[in-house]
Amino acid sequence: MFQRHQDFAVYQPGEAARLLGVQPAKIKRWLGGYEYRRGDRIVEQAPLWTSEYSNLDDIYLGFRDLIEIRFVIAFMRAGLGKNSVRSLLSKARVLVGHDYPLSTRQFQTDGRTLFLEIWDHERDGEVGHTIDVRDGQHAFRSLISPTFKDLDFDHGIVSKWHVVGRRRRISIAPAVAFGQPVIDDTGIPTFRILEAYEAERDEAIVARQFEVPVSVVRSAIEFERGLSQKRAAST
């Protein structure tokens, strides 16, 4: 599932997909590129970016890749097409001066203007479409801005992702437990909570064992079972 590499997490596409709620095949296409046929020609589509662990033999993701993909998913849900997302990423790299621009504090500050520029350019190319910048502003406010709310930053770079919102106290940080989902501020992996519960069948006993509230135990169990359901659905 999670592998050690240079003291950080390395995620396989399947595990990353379950954390992100997207099909593994999409992650492989986004980070590995793909080919498609156009008439008599085979067209090669380059990856959206080079993953943190592109030096390995297969496709693996680092923590920054996870965060970048979260934003790609949000952009597409907001209505941007694949080419527009590719253009936005290219412009964001120039704007921020970083290979992984979406997972920076600067993009949180300046990304809205860039998103609206790409949004309007895409809509401008649609025949008979009347541009309404308020649509783009609403899309950014309702789908993109919330993506920042469960992220912590350190020196301008995302350092922690509160996977199911801050209130449920489950987070991922590359420097904690090799990027496994953990109980926030404890370093206890959520899968350990589930293992203990399956052995004891009592949330209160598990809470005392790990010295955490019962509500946190319940959140960890629900989270891990949700991952298991996603794992089954993707196989």
For the chain, what is the total number of helices (H) and then of strands (E)?
Answer: 10, 9
CATH of residue 179: 1.10.10
Q: Is residue 30 part of a domain?
A: no
Radius of gyration of the chain (CA): 20
Residue 4 pLDDT > 50: no
Q: Is residue 122 part of a domain?
A: no
User: SS3 helix, strand, coil % of the chain, rounded to 5?
Assistant: 55, 15, 25
Q: Is residue 132 part of a domain?
A: no
- Lowest mean pLDDT: which of 67-71, 121-125, 141-145? 121-125
Task: Provide the mean pLDDT of the chain.
Answer: 87
- Domain residue limits at 216: 155-235
Q: How do residues 43-63 score in pLDDT, each as one tens digit?
A: 899 999 999 988 777 889 999
More confident position, 1 or 231: 231
Work out the percent of the chain whose per-residue pLDDT is above 90. Answer: 62
Q: Is residue 179 part of a domain?
A: yes
Give the model's pLDDT for residue 38.
86
Q: How do residues 139-173 score in pLDDT, each as one tens digit?
A: 888 888 889 999 999 999 999 999 999 999 999 99
Give the model's pLDDT for residue 117.
85
Q: Is residue 200 part of a domain?
A: yes
DSSP assignment letter at 23: -
Mapping DSSP to helix (H, G, I), strand (E, B) and coil, where does residue 157 land? strand
DSSP assignment letter at 102: G
Label residue 18 by pLDDT band (50, 70, 90): very high
Q: Is residue 111 part of a domain?
A: no
Q: What is the pTM of this model?
A: 0.86
Q: How many domains does the chain fold into? A: 1
Q: What CA–CA distance (Å, rounded) separates 146 from 156?
A: 18
Residue 129 pLDDT > 50: no
Contacts by 122-130, CB closer than 8 A, 24 or more apart: 122/80, 122/81, 122/84
Residue labelled with tokens 């921020």: 96
Q: Is residue 189 part of a domain?
A: yes
Q: Is residue 69 part of a domain?
A: no
Residue 124 pLDDT > 80: no
- Lowest mean pLDDT: which of 32-36, 134-138, 176-180? 134-138
Q: How do residues 216-235 score in pLDDT, each as one tens digit?
A: 999 999 999 998 776 655 55
Dihedral sign from CA coordinates of 124, 126, 131, 134: negative
Q: Once rounded to an integer, what is the mean pLDDT over residues 202-211? A: 97
